[in-house]
Structure 1
Amino acid sequence: MNTLNDIVQTILAMGPSVVLPIIIFILALCFRVSLKNAVVSGMTVGIGMIGINLVIGLLTDSVGPAAQAMVARFGLNLTIIDAGWPAVSAATWAQPIAAVMIPIILLVNIIMLAFNWTKTLNIDIWNYWHMSAAAATGYVVTDNFFIGILCGILYTVIVQIVADKTAPAVQKYYGLEGISITTGSAQGYAILGIPIGWAISKIPGIKNLDADPETIQKRFGIFGEPMIMGFLIGAFLAILGGYDITQILQTAMTMAGIMFILPRMVKILMEGLIPIQEAARDVLQKRYGDREIYLGMDAALATGAPAALATGLLMVPITLFIAVILPGNRVLPFADLATIPFFAALVVPSRKGNILHSVLTLTVVITFALWMATDYAPVMTEMAKGIVKFPDGASQISNFDTGGNFLNWIFLKLAQLFQ
């Protein structure tokens, strides 16, 4: 077990910009891409991932302090602290069951592909931790290794199914040909968000309000440009945080830059995937006729769309407001506020990029997420003890990525049935 855990930790420590090119290179050779093109594809994907991570790091470094400033400015005082996905991920990988889940997840995916139960080959190894978190939750709640593994397997199967079902909308709206999104947090929010969004789109007076970036640009000219939208949203967040004029302009320009640069980083990554997708299609058509295969990727690819990023950023102050007024909530939104754009990844294409409908949808979903995160806190705190340094003043921790994720919460309730 220790050896397997060491291997997993070594692989994860390399980071996506190293391991993803290796995976792409191996896949390319399996699908009979030439050695030269396989190397170029792998390197291009790695470079694209470096660019995406740099821009997302910039996003986190800008939104995080602004959100913290809002918390301090408005004197929010709730007893469960949102510790963020990095802390919960670390707590997950520290559980003895987590390392075993990596080969199990791969095996389940391969079996489902072999029997044509899925079209998705999930190569997003870093987000395997969402499945492992379900397994770790089952193990911690029941103290039963096999129930934990069962939770992880069922979670994996659901991820594959949701990835397949949402892939057509993802590919059409984001222009990500041959891609599905397998990030557990994006899927958990979509399971609630897609039907809620559909219902909201039927409400008289709201259903006919078009607020996608293209419509905004047509009606408001320059204010519909992604960089201008980013500037205005960044300034809005900074003003709510009580920043001075210099900080407001710096934050606004940073958000404008993120809106402009991120889609270009996604395009670079996609350039590296195109040869793999074309080769995979040719091989599968020869062997299975018209069968297609999707490459399961991180929801980070979706944040390159202005509507997804704008929706996520607008939800930051809305989430803080809901947390204050919501009866029964004890979670103080904090570290995961910067990752809300990821939660919007599958909701936005279901609303055809309508920012207003997407924001209204996520407002409802975040309300439920706060209740779920509050309920999840005791188990998450138990998982993190001795592994994660708790924020000052925190009696318990939770987060939005896992604790407020409907899919993970369902497995918490399932595991509690076997206590």
Structure 2
Amino acid sequence: MGILQWFVNLGASVFLPILLFIFALILGIKPGKAFKSALTVGVGFIGLNLVINLLTSSLGPATKSMISNYGLHLSTIDVGWPAASAIAYGTALGAMAIPIGVLTNVVLLFLGLTKTLNVDIWNYWHIALVGSILYTATGNMWLGIVSMIVGAMFTYFFADLAAPTVEKYYGLPGISITQGLSAPGYVFALPLNWLFDRIPGINKIHINPATIQKRMGVFGDTTVLGAVIGLVIGLLAKQPINKALNLAVSMAAVMMLMPRMVSLLMEGLTPVSEGANDMVKKRFPGRQLYIGMDSALAIGQESVLSSALLLVPITLFLAVILPGNRVLPFGDLATIPFFIAMFAAVFKGDIFRTVLAGIIDMVISLYVASWFAPTFTTLAKAASFNMNGNGSITTLSDGGLWLNFIYVFTGEKFQWFAIIVLFLVALGLLIWQNKLRKVPATD
């Protein structure tokens, strides 16, 4: 277990290339090609993290200025996903999440109940958080362990379900999204898309990057649009003009560089993905294999980034006006692209619908994160997390995720009955999806 944790602590940019290199060799890819592909993925992740850090470091001061200037005094601070992942892996159950997630994946693959081979091992922290929170809330360790299995099962179901849409919209063949925050967004957006199609007025509004660029010319270009949104955020934060302009250029850089880093990642992943599917076709005729990856592959898309930047000030505004909300959004404001990555795919890049769905999601997330705060704070203290003088903390991302609310609320109230029901639901969905794949297509 200690060796496994040491391996994970190397960081995604190191352990993922190692994992992919070993996997590529198993698939029969030549060592030289396997090494280059794996190294390219590592370089892509470093580049992507640099861009995400630019986004975070640029939005951070603007967010602090908004909080200070507009007198936002809320009792619970959103510490963000980096803190949440550290807390999740720092608990008694946290270190068990990776072997549990991997074993669940292997069993489901063997039974033919999933097509996703998840190599995004770092993001098992999402199920670690669920299990740890439920263990903290109930005191039942086995309940927490089984809840991690259930969480992994739902993740693979969402990943398989969304994979065709991910391939079509994002141009990611052979890839599925297994990131715990983004994956459930697919089933969240589907009914909203159905609803938007039936609301008079809203069903006539369609705004996408191509439409904006056509109507606005150079100001519709995504890089220019990023600069404009960055400048507006800086002005709303009442920053000095030099800082506002720096924020504008930083947001323009994010809009331009993010897609290029994603394309670099895909360059490295493509040979591995193709090799995996070739092997599956030879040994298991008729079956297809997806490589489960982080939704970082999707957040560089123009509609996702544009919608996310618009949602930053909107989320702060919602935090102030929503009655009963106690959460001050901060750490996860730069994580908003991950919230809405699947939304944009369902809405086919419609920025209006993505923002509208994002607003609905943020309202839910603020209330759920407020509800989670006491348990999350207790969990953080148990993991010896530095509270930095805050009496109450939470995370807007996983701490505000509607699916995690279902796990913990029902698990806390009904314990084994609820978790067994959720297990059977997840199993039933996986079986249904497997049978659906076997039904021949008809004209």
The normalised TM-score by structure 1 is: 0.96
Q: 2:307 aligns with which of 311, 323, 329?
A: 311
Measure, in 1, the Cα distance between the counterparts of 2:343 and 2:17.
Answer: 29
Q: 2:374 aligns with which of 365, 373, 378?
A: 378
Measure, in 1, the Cα distance between the counterparts of 2:63 and 2:200.
Answer: 34
- Please say if residues 304 and 340 of structure 2, whose CA atoms lie closer than 8 Å, have aligned partners that are also in contact: yes
Measure, in 2, the Cα distance between the counterparts of 1:181 and 1:416.
Answer: 28
Residue 277 of structure 1 and its aligned partner are, at CA, apart by 1.4
Q: 1:355-406, CA deviations, whole angstroms, 9 ceiling, x for partnerless residues?
A: 11100011011111111111111110100016222244x3211111111111
Corresponding residue of 2:28: 32
SS in 2 for 1:180: strand
Q: 1:69 aligns with which of 51, 65, 69?
A: 65
Structure 2 unaligned residues grouped into runs of 5+: 416-443
RMSD across aligned positions (CA): 1.3
- Please say if residues 120 and 180 of structure 1, whose CA atoms lie closer than 8 Å, have aligned partners that are also in contact: yes
Q: 1:390 aligns with which of 383, 387, 390?
A: 387
Q: Which has the bigger relative contact order, CA under 8 A and spacing at least 6?
A: 1
Q: 1:341 aligns with which of 320, 337, 341?
A: 337
**Counterparts in 2 of 1:202-281, with a 5 A limit?**
202-281=198-277
Q: 2:147 aligns with which of 138, 147, 151?
A: 151
Measure, in 1, the Cα distance between the counterparts of 2:65 and 2:295.
Answer: 27
Residue 187 of structure 1 and its aligned partner are, at CA, apart by 2.5
Residue 247 of structure 1 and its aligned partner are, at CA, apart by 0.9
Measure, in 2, the Cα distance between the counterparts of 1:247 and 1:194.
Answer: 39
Measure, in 2, the Cα distance between the counterparts of 1:351 and 1:10.
Answer: 40
Corresponding residue of 1:195: 191
SS in 2 for 1:385: helix
- Please say if residues 76 and 370 of structure 2, whose CA atoms lie closer than 8 Å, have aligned partners that are also in contact: yes
Corresponding residue of 1:282: 278
- Please say if residues 159 and 176 of structure 2, whose CA atoms lie closer than 8 Å, have aligned partners that are also in contact: yes
SS in 1 for 2:341: coil
Corresponding residue of 1:404: 400
1:360 aligns with 2:385: no
The normalised TM-score by structure 2 is: 0.91
Measure, in 2, the Cα distance between the counterparts of 1:399 and 1:55.
Answer: 22
Measure, in 2, the Cα distance between the counterparts of 1:133 and 1:142.
Answer: 14
Measure, in 2, the Cα distance between the counterparts of 1:334 and 1:192.
Answer: 23
Q: 2:162 aligns with which of 162, 166, 180?
A: 166
Measure, in 1, the Cα distance between the counterparts of 2:122 and 2:190.
Answer: 25
Measure, in 2, the Cα distance between the counterparts of 1:52 and 1:159.
Answer: 23
Structure 1 unaligned residues grouped into runs of 5+: none
Corresponding residue of 2:428: none
- Please say if residues 371 and 404 of structure 1, whose CA atoms lie closer than 8 Å, have aligned partners that are also in contact: yes
Residue 221 of structure 1 and its aligned partner are, at CA, apart by 1.5
Matched pairs, number = 414
Q: 2:327 aligns with which of 327, 331, 345?
A: 331
1:140 aligns with 2:136: yes
Corresponding residue of 2:433: none
Q: 1:226-248, CA deviations, whole angstroms, 9 ceiling, x for partnerless residues?
A: 10111111111111111111111
1:179 aligns with 2:175: yes
SS in 1 for 2:29: coil
Corresponding residue of 1:49: 45
Corresponding residue of 2:318: 322
Would the alpha carbon gap of residues 418 and 143 (structure 1) be closer, same or farther in structure 2, given more than 3 Å must change? farther
Measure, in 2, the Cα distance between the counterparts of 1:391 and 1:358.
Answer: 35
- Please say if residues 365 and 397 of structure 2, whose CA atoms lie closer than 8 Å, have aligned partners that are also in contact: no
- Please say if residues 344 and 350 of structure 2, whose CA atoms lie closer than 8 Å, have aligned partners that are also in contact: yes
Matched AA of 2:147: C
Measure, in 1, the Cα distance between the counterparts of 2:218 and 2:287.
Answer: 44
Residue 40 of structure 1 and its aligned partner are, at CA, apart by 0.8
- Please say if residues 231 and 254 of structure 1, whose CA atoms lie closer than 8 Å, have aligned partners that are also in contact: yes
Residue 418 of structure 1 and its aligned partner are, at CA, apart by 4.6
Q: 2:80 aligns with which of 84, 99, 115?
A: 84
Deviates more, 1:158-167 or 1:60-69: 60-69
Measure, in 1, the Cα distance between the counterparts of 2:340 and 2:103.
Answer: 29
SS in 1 for 2:291: strand
1:102 aligns with 2:98: yes
Corresponding residue of 2:432: none
SS in 1 for 2:204: coil
- Please say if residues 12 and 126 of structure 1, whose CA atoms lie closer than 8 Å, have aligned partners that are also in contact: yes
Residue 13 of structure 1 and its aligned partner are, at CA, apart by 2.1
